[in-house]
Amino acid sequence: MGKNNGTTSWAAKQVFTTGEAAEVCNVSQQTIIRCFDSGRLQGFRVPGSRFRRIPRAELLRFMKSNEIPTDALESQTKRVLVVDDDEQIVELFEDLLGSDERFEIKTAATGYDAGLLTEQFKPHLILLDFMLPDINGNLVCERIKANPDLQDTKVLIISGVVSQDEMSKLTQSGADGFMKKPFDIEKLVMNMEELLQLA
């Protein structure tokens, strides 16, 4: 896991205490407790105690529905998942993007790993190779796009394939962008910035 530069590290936190939630939302702890007890903010109590705990997703929902800026919760670094079965290429991506402070990189070598990591890591962007050893990139892409929890996740397919047939499959799978291997690294970064609205 990449290091978080800021004073708080809410970005990686999955469960919040009422105090933490109050800080994130910039309201008093009492307000959070009231909302929790009235059911407007849902969570659970720690087994064997009365301590309230709020899951990250529910906190986000609460903040959005009450128009509380989520900036504090969202970190400024963008989580990027690189999926490619070629080790050299994965290393190239790590070299290229790892030095860029705006990105937090994780990598997967198969479609299966990609799925697991997507659930866990909640990447903002997936750089997806089309030809994977288990399932093809377009299927991975379709699954991600079909999941409502991941609707903010962008997919950029990077592939060596060129046939019209495969191209149409890729666009149908709902990918947000496409880059052909080999690629110009500057163009790649520009594409990523565009998709992540960093520019």
Partner 1 sequence: MADHARGAATSHRVELMLQELESLPTLSPVAVRLLELTADDEAESRDVIDLVASDPALASKVLAMCRCHERGRADNVTTVDRAVLLLGFEAVRCAVLSVQVFDLIDGLPGAKRTGESVFDRELFMLHSLACAVMSEEIVKAGTGARAIRPSEAFMAGLLHDIGQLVLHVILPESFDQVCRFAETHGASLDHACRQIIGLDTHTAGKRLAEHWGLPAPLVDVIWLNGQPTAALPRVPHRTLISVVTLADAIVRRRYVNAGAHWTGGESLSALCVPVGITMDAVDNATASLHDRVSQRATALGLAEEHDPIILLRSICRANESLARANAGMRQRERVAQQQATMLKELTRFHDTLPVGLTNLEALARIAGSIASLLDAPVVATLYQGRADNWHLVRLTTQGRVVGSVTLEPPADAIGFDVLAREVTVTADVDTLMPWLSDYLPTGTDLAPMHMLPLPAGAHATAIFLLLGTPDGDLLRGNRDGLVRCWQAALAAAAQHDRTAHLTEELAVANRTLMETQEALAHSRTLSSIGEVAAGAAHEMNNPLTVICGRSQLLAQRIQDPEQRKMAEEVSTQSHRLSDMITALRSFAEPVEPVLIEADIPELVFRVVQRYGPPDGRQPQLNTILTESLPAARLDPDLVGAALGELIRNAVESKGCEHIELRVQTDRLDDRLRLEVRDDGEGLTEHALQHAFDPFFSARPAGRQPGLGLSRARRFVEAHGGQLTLVNGPAGGAVATIWLREWRVSEPRERDAA
What residues make contact with partner 1 under the rule CB under 8 A? 86, 88-89, 92, 95-96, 131, 160-165, 180-186
State the nearest-atom distance from the C-beta of 134 to partner 1, in Å: 15
State the nearest-atom distance from the C-beta of 90 to partner 1, in Å: 10
* Choice between 37 and 184, CB closer to partner 1: 184
CA distance 43 to 59: 9
CA distance 85 to 179: 17
* Choice between 118 and 159, CB closer to partner 1: 159
* Choice between 96 and 198, CB closer to partner 1: 96
State the nearest-atom distance from the C-beta of 86 to partner 1, in Å: 5
* Choice between 33 and 89, CB closer to partner 1: 89
* Choice between 136 and 153, CB closer to partner 1: 136
Here the tokens at position 171 are 């666009």
State the nearest-atom distance from the C-beta of 170 to partner 1, in Å: 14
State the nearest-atom distance from the C-beta of 136 to partner 1, in Å: 12
State the nearest-atom distance from the C-beta of 89 to partner 1, in Å: 6
For residue 131, how far is the Cα from the chain centroid? 22
- Answer for the pair 100, 80: CB distance below 8 angstroms, yes or no: no
Give the Å distances, CA to CA, from 31 to 21, 37, 67. Answer: 10, 10, 15
How, if at all, do strands 44-45 and 52-55 pair?
Answer: antiparallel
Q: Show Cβ contacts of residue 132 under 8 Å, excluding neighbours closer than 6 positions.
A: 83, 85, 110, 111, 114, 140
* Choice between 44 and 183, CB closer to partner 1: 183
**Alpha helix ranges (H) inside the chain:** 18-25, 29-38, 56-65, 87-98, 111-121, 137-146, 164-172, 185-195
CA distance 131 to 170: 11
